[in-house]
Amino acid sequence: MPNLHILSKEDTPVEATPVGCSATKLVVQWAVGTMLVFLIGSWLVWWALYLQRHFVEEEVRGACQRVMPETVERCVDTVIIQRGGAKR
């Protein structure tokens, strides 16, 4: 049989209610979180575009090296311009 302990009214714990700015704190945390997500997302998009452009340029440079080894830079510039990109 389990041991039972009888509590009187004075022995019961009183629950504390949170004081003050809980709504303001929630809004600030939400705003900071949204800003962080936006900044990290923007950085990831920028990084992905940078990597894609870098790999495309390497691919074009390799193809130009095989086809026209004496004028690689001119070939790379021409292909990039023809594809709609700008010179670095």
Given a cut of 90, whether residue 30 has pLDDT beyond it is: yes
Q: Please name the residues in contact with 77: beta carbons below 8 A apart, sequence gap of 6 or more.
A: 87
At residue 88 the predicted structure's pLDDT band, cuts being 50, 70 and 90, is low
Q: What percentage of residues in the chain have a pLDDT greater than 90?
A: 51
Mean pLDDT value across residues 20-47: 92
Rounded to the nearest integer, the mean pLDDT of the chain is 85
Q: Please name the residues in contact with 72: beta carbons below 8 A apart, sequence gap of 6 or more.
A: 61, 64, 65
pLDDT at residue 49 in the model:
94
pTM to 2 decimal places: 0.58
